[in-house]
Amino acid sequence: MSREKRTPSRFPLLTYQHPSRQQLNQATWLLVLSAVLWFISNYAPQPAIYAGIGISGILLGLLSGIIALLKRGAYIRCKEQAFTLRGPWMYTVNFSYSRIASVRPVQFNTLFPPEEQKNRYRRDFAKLWTKTAIVIDLKSSPVALKWLRFWYGPYLLLPKEKSLVLVTNEWMALSRQLENGRLAWIERRKARAR
């Protein structure tokens, strides 16, 4: 089996994976505690209040759990003509390889220094700060950058630049697939020009 066939076709985006694990744990605890509160409301002096709080907590826990699961579905996939970016809300954007100016590996904490981040992100990304990120410098974007920031959050794009920041476990394989896709696009363009 060749090495290229063993590389994954989807690369999960860790900037969504790590926070979603914590959120899923919190949602599970909220569900358990709310269910206990709802159950013991039958024995409380004012059962309607405890039951209402319990049911509200259960609904909030379910919503939080669904959001955490959606975040875990974020990935990048390299295809023949383009690469696809799927965000935490199932919002998908296709980028043609013609839009790539360059692909480079950079350590995540040099792009977003932890000491300059909010406490919540510092804690959520504790395992990510030392990871290598792939930065894709773009010539253009199929979607306005403000919409990408809105749908994908603050860590997808470099501040004040047209560059995607992607943190995955297999950054070398992703970098190779992106570069191969870009080079294949250049070759196809040269072949058409002849």
| 135-171 confidence digits (pLDDT tens) | 999 999 898 888 888 888 888 888 888 899 999 989 9
How would residue 174 be classed by pLDDT, with cut points 50, 70 and 90?
Answer: very high
Q: Which residues contact 142 (CB under 8 A, 6 or more apart)?
A: 93, 94, 95, 96, 99
Tell how strand 10-12 and strand 82-86 pair up: unpaired
Tell how strand 100-107 and strand 132-138 pair up: antiparallel
pLDDT in tens, 81-120: 899 988 877 678 999 998 999 999 999 989 988 888 888 7
Distances (CA, A) of 156 to 16, 22, 37: 10, 20, 39
Can you give the pLDDT at residue 19? 67
Alpha-carbon span 37 to 35, nearest angstrom: 5
Return the CATH fold of 75-193.
Answer: PH-domain like (2.30.29)
Alpha-carbon span 28 to 144, nearest angstrom: 36
